[in-house]
Amino acid sequence: MTPGRSRAANDGTVSSSLARLVSGVVADLGMNRGQFAHLPDLRPEVLADDLARVSTPTMIALWEQLTLSDAGTAIGVHVADQAPVGTLGLWDYLYTTGPSLIETTPQALTYLDVIGDPGADRTQVMESGSQFIVGHATGPAVPDVVEAIEIFVLALFLKRSREATGRPIVPLRVSLSHRAPREHRRLTEFFGTTRIDYEAPANSITLLDEDAHAPLPQSQPGLAKILQHHADLTLAAAKPVLCWYDSFRVALDIVFDQNILSLEAVAERLAMSPRTLQRRLSEHETTWRTEVEKARQTRALTLLRNPDLSMRSIARRVGYSDERVLRRAIRRWHGAPPTAVRNGLATD
């Protein structure tokens, strides 16, 4: 790898090209994008910057929205279908321009972090007799999102394999570690087979060895090394829009908005365990309790500016079950009763 930024520096982020794809599908389906307007790493200038890296919590929020569509978690195959070669930039050509899939697939998976989250994605490639098997799993996150992403990745592998070879490849088998989604027929139609094993030990797609060894029409001698060098430079020059702490604050804001505040819910959106999240907060010299209190104070102050909101409504929106708890908190934060604080805000 070319000297420069460590790949670990991109943990917790994905490429702007992947974010453009997923946010574009949200828009194409006519789903509500207004809830994402405040997210700093979905600004137009960020999505237009090929070196920008979008936070994993932001991506999980987009995928959560997609899983609410009629397709449910099967939306993963639709997202893949909306991504012709070139959509994901450099990575697409790592997959499609080598001698055969036997050579290009391991290369593309080695550089999957050009588009995906280096800290979350795990892949495997192997040959077994006359079969070529590609496996993938992503990190801990919201269960429906994990399922949709893992379906998407296997569908993307097949789509790129078909595009690279120019063959209408039908896999021998598709294995998914999840239950069959309610719209499982969409998977059957996309993969072209009913041989889809659900609740399998791991996610994988199995191709015939003859498909994997078929010469690729776009193969160009020497191009692989050039692309690999370019991939190393791209990873070294990548620009995460948010630092880890800011990504945490995005995840915290999202769970507040969804009224599902908990350590576990935020950890899921950061693709890590609750224990790891607590450790990372400690490294930033703060705690979960401190951050929740700060977020509640900030949100409560903003909501108090709206005279149409009752104290009961504000309490609910900041995660308190009782408005009396909110009133005590406001006194603690500002040394004055809620009415005085609200009146003071109104005169600012």
Same domain, 140 and 199: yes
Over residues 312-343, the pLDDT tens digits come to 999 999 988 889 999 999 999 989 888 888 88
Q: Exposure string (b/e) for 44-75, b if CB count within 10 Å is 16 or more?
A: eebbeeeebbbbbbbbbbbbbbbbebebbbbb
CA distance 80 to 21: 9
Over residues 65-121, the pLDDT tens digits come to 999 999 999 999 999 999 999 999 999 999 999 999 999 999 999 999 999 999 898
332-337 own/partner pairs: CB under 8 Å, 24+ apart = 333/297, 333/300
Q: Is 21 inside any structural domain?
A: yes
CATH code of the domain containing 265: 1.10.10.60
pLDDT category at 348 given cuts 50, 70, 90 is low
CA distance 59 to 25: 12
Whether the CB-CB separation of 101 and 133 falls below 8 Å is answered with no
Over residues 283-319, the pLDDT tens digits come to 999 999 999 999 999 999 899 988 888 999 999 999 8
User: Whole-number mean pLDDT of the chain?
Assistant: 92
Same domain, 124 and 104: yes
Give the pLDDT confidence score for residue 1 in this predicted structure: 40
Asked whether the predicted pLDDT for residue 346 surpasses 80, the reply is no
Q: What is the mean pLDDT of residues 163-167?
A: 97
pLDDT category at 5 given cuts 50, 70, 90 is very low
Q: Is 2 inside any structural domain?
A: no
Q: Quote the domain boundaries for residue 91.
A: 7-240
Same domain, 114 and 193: yes
